Amino acid sequence: MKFAQNDNIKNHHGVVSRRKFLSHSAAAVACVVAGRARAAPSPAPWKMRLSTSSIQFTSLPIEQACERIAALGFEAIDIWSPHAGCPHLDDAKDRLGVDGLKAVLRRNKLKTYAWSVYRGGFRKYADFIGAMGGGIAVRGSAPPCPPGELVARMKEFLERMKPELELAEKHDVYLASENHGNALLDSLDSLKAFVDLNRNPRLGIALAPYHLQRSGVAVEDAIAICGKQLLFFYAWQNQPGTQQLPGIGPTDFTPWLAALAKIDYRGYVNPFMHGEPEPDAMTAALRQSREYLLRCSPA
């Protein structure tokens, strides 16, 4: 008897209605699919990781800066070249050397997250950073331009970056260009132009909310535009003194952290300020800032 001609199906238990057979089959398939869905591992929840910058302790040698940062509970460090007289990267390179700095970091259980090379430039430190295992080299962008020239100027900037990016690849380094006031990278439009035109996986953005707030730019929107090209995030607000730090100034960092979680940002959140106080006051401010960020984290 053909299936299409009869609404009954025989099996070894007897006659079953076609409608009941299909109903049971659909239920069985649904159970299998549901079981597989339950068995499939769910994506890991976003977890905030915290670093801070050695320049916060400019008056201390790199060994003591590392000790303070590690004792506060930070997992990683951003080591600065001589902006505002910070001695740390040059001192580490010239006095400690690769083995000496590795020993300092190992003793303090600190990872190297980034190398801020605004002064001196990446080329000067490339060999040393490479020998240290690479990481992210944070740099500036280029001079500003009229809005009508933005795309052309961004293309020129990215083209000029190619030799430096070849050097970065050789040393397993990623380059992160920071947005800044009075610079090429300073607005939502410029961030979008960068992201749209950049095709090199070793080049990304270091996002500084301090400068965005000064221009009235929504930080959450900037984070969303940067997406996977966000390599470094300064937890830094546009306020005087230690109020630049999270939890001390008035800015609510909760939406910023939620925006980072939404794009699944994999770098460190780096509380930061310029014009740091003396070391004990800086230590107390960073402790307060770190505790605040942990309370605000969506994970």
Instruction: Round the average pLDDT of the chain to a whole number and report it.
Output: 90
* pLDDT, mean of residues 121-143: 97
Contacts of 73 (CB under 8 A, 6+ apart): 50, 290
% the chain with pLDDT above 70: 86
Q: pLDDT class for 41, splitting at 50, 70, 90?
A: low
* pLDDT, mean of residues 112-121: 97
> Regarding predicted confidence, which is higher, 299 or 80?
80
Q: Are 139 and 167 in contact (CB under 8 A)?
A: no
Q: Residue 57: which of 74, 73, 75, 69 has the closest Cα?
A: 69
What does the pLDDT look like over 148-174, one tens digit per residue? 999 999 999 999 999 999 999 999 999
Residue 19 has pLDDT above 80, yes or no: no
pLDDT at 31: 45
* pLDDT, mean of residues 88-110: 98
Distance (Å, whole) CA 297 – CA 293: 6
pTM, full prediction: 0.86
CA 153 from centre of chain = 25
CA 107 from centre of chain = 25
Q: Residue 51: which of 105, 120, 2, 9 has the closest Cα?
A: 105
3-state SS, residue 234: strand
What does the pLDDT look like over 267-297, one tens digit per residue? 999 999 999 999 999 999 999 999 999 999 9
Contacts of 242 (CB under 8 A, 6+ apart): 248, 273, 277, 281, 282, 285
- Which H helix or E strand runs over 205? strand 203-207
pLDDT at 44: 79
pLDDT at 8: 40
* pLDDT, mean of residues 111-132: 98
Token pair listed for 70 = 């590690």
What does the pLDDT look like over 229-250, one tens digit per residue? 999 999 999 999 999 999 999 9
12-21, 70-79, 171-180: least confident range? 12-21
pLDDT at 6: 40
pLDDT at 42: 60
